[in-house]
Amino acid sequence: MRPAGAAIEDKTLEVQMSGDERALGVAVIGMGWMGAVHARAYTRLRQHYPDSARYPRLIAVADDVPGRAEAGAQQYGAGRAYSDWRDLLADPEIEAVSVTVPNFLHAEIGTAVLEAGKHLWIEKPVGLTAADAAAVNRAAAAAGKQTAVGFNYRNAPAVERARELLAQGAIGDVTHARFRLFSDYAAHPDGALSWRYSRERGGNGVLGDLASHGVDLMRYLLGEIDALVADTATFISERPSPTAATSGHQLATGGELGPVENEDYVGALVRMTSGARCVLESSRVSVGEQNSYGFEIHGTAGVIRWDYRRMGELELAAGDGYQDAPVSSVFVGPSAGEYGRFQPGSANPMGYDDLKVIEAQRFLASIEQDRPVGATIADAVAMAETLDALVESANSGRWVRVGR
């Protein structure tokens, strides 16, 4: 008689073999914090989406910081580590690639990934300008490959539920809204003068870093943007230079001071094609604000509010009372978006990494179905056109039409 343990082992082997047949070879270029987030997302897909048609198998990682690729490969189970991303793209086992490098490398590497015949998951803003994003979009069309972009906040189940409520007319016609993205990651004057603060390498500062998410949420929830007027500012004009490679938002106390070349703050009045009016405000130097991201959307019959720090909760007022309307806290549950893949009941919290798992799943679904699923490079182009309009308006002091 076969021991019970042997039968279990045989079944495990059978599952593993079946999984290998469905594996999709993936890789990550750039193994800083965001690269690690992508690597973790790939490894978790099988756990949260056991019914997926294909599963990712992390083949390789690349990073030019000495030792970082090797450490990442060991930690996340990749078989190969490259110091040059071009060598990674020559690997025939890799079918899809995550690009999580600094902004100034997005267009070059993103385009190269597509021209190498591989699907692309890339972090926003997909370059420094709308022209950069458009170039990557053209490469995707020419290659016939699927793309995904890191607009992770739209993946929050509460945000998806808010979108459904808006489409159903739960708060009537949208009249005006406010989108905020405040953080303190650059509030310390000794924050290291990394690539983020260079115009040539980091682009337009907080616009590409945080306001890009606000623009995507605005479009995702309310439709297209017609025109805007904006103001920007840089409040910390100098920062100390780092003495070694940086990851995240490190301090460099005592380093040689250098100029901050891009924006700490942006505020804008936005007119939607629907006629709704919006306020967009974003800052990377807001003392006392840690990941204070969210929106409030007012309609003719109610309001919807969301705060990223209470990710699974909406504040909602709806009905025909109009004046003195009570606002209720609504905890979304398994029926909202992808919530049920992570938690069994309302008010169980989800986290940032969970949103990236959802993003990874939609990327793989787009590859399997050969059609866009989730945010794509086309969304990045529309967002980048809005950022270009914000910069143009801040420089001219005038209203600017978007994408025209």
| 35 and 160 part of one domain | no
Residue that terminates a domain, selected from 104, 124, 152: 152
Residue 186 and residue 124 share a domain: no
Residue 26 corresponds to which tokens in the numbers above?
């993936």
DSSP letter for each residue of 200-233 = HHH-STHIIIIIHHHHHHHHHHH--EEEEEEEEE
In a domain, 58, yes or no: yes
- Tell me: pLDDT of 335 over 60: yes
Domain count within the chain: 2
Contact 59, 25 (CB under 8 A): yes
CATH code (residue 225): 3.30.360.10
From 101, 124, 152, give the residue that closes a domain.
152
- How many Cα atoms within 13 Å fall on the side-chain side of residue 11? 5
209-234 pLDDT per residue, tens: 999 999 999 999 999 999 999 999 99
pLDDT score of 6: 34
Contacts of 155 (CB under 8 A, 6+ apart): 337, 338, 355, 358, 359, 362, 374
Mapped onto helix, strand or coil, the DSSP state of residue 9 is helix
Q: How far is CA 268 from the centre of its chain?
A: 21
Range of the domain at 246: 156-344+377-401
Distance between CA 383 and CA 379 in Å, rounded? 6
pLDDT band at 321 (very low <50, low <70, confident <90, very high): confident
Whether residues 145 and 277 fall in one domain:
no
Structure tokens at 79: 């078989």
Residue 349 lies in a domain: no
Q: Which two tokens stand for residue 61?
A: 């990682």
Residue 255 is predicted with a pLDDT of 85
Tokens matching residue 300? 């003719």
| Residues 275/225, Cβ–Cβ less than 8 Å | no
Q: Are residues 127 and 243 in the same domain?
A: no
On whether residue 364 sits in a domain, the answer given is no
pLDDT computed for residue 13 by the predictor: 36
Same-domain pairing of 184 and 75: no
| 367 domain-assigned | no
Residue range 1-33, pLDDT digits in tens? 333 333 334 333 333 434 466 799 999 999 999
Q: What is the CATH number of the domain that holds 28?
A: 3.40.50.720
Predicted local confidence at residue 253, as pLDDT: 78
Measured between alpha carbons, how far is 120 from 140 in angstroms, rounded to an integer? 8
Task: Please enumerate in sequence order all residues whose Cβ is within 8 A of that of 46, keeping only pairs 6 or more positions apart, or say none.
Answer: 19, 52, 55
User: Residue 145: what pLDDT?
Assistant: 98
Res 3: pLDDT: 37
The values of phi and psi at residue 169, to 5°, are: 75, 25
Strands of the sheet containing 265-272, edge to edge, are 328-331, 313-318, 302-307, 292-299, 174-182, 277-283, 265-272, 225-233, 400-401
Q: Which pairing describes strands 400-401 and 225-233: parallel, antiparallel, or unpaired?
A: antiparallel
| Together in a domain, 147 and 173 | no
Q: What is the pLDDT of residues 258-293, one digit of tens each?
A: 999 999 999 999 999 999 999 999 999 999 999 999
Give yes or no: residues 315 and 203 share one domain.
Answer: yes
- Taking 80 as the threshold, does the pLDDT of residue 249 lie above it? no
Mean pLDDT of the chain: 93
Which among 152, 186, 213 is the end of a domain?
A: 152
Please tell me the predicted confidence (pLDDT) of residue 17.
36
Task: Provide the pairing of β-strand 96-99 with 119-122.
Answer: parallel
Higher-scoring residue by pLDDT: 106, 248: 106
343-381 residue pLDDT tens: 999 999 999 999 999 999 999 999 999 999 999 999 999
- What is the rounded distance in angstroms from the CA atom of residue 188 to the CA atom of residue 255? 14
Q: pLDDT tens digit string along 74-102?
A: 999 999 999 999 999 999 999 999 999 99
285-315, pLDDT tens digit by residue? 999 999 999 999 999 999 999 999 999 999 9
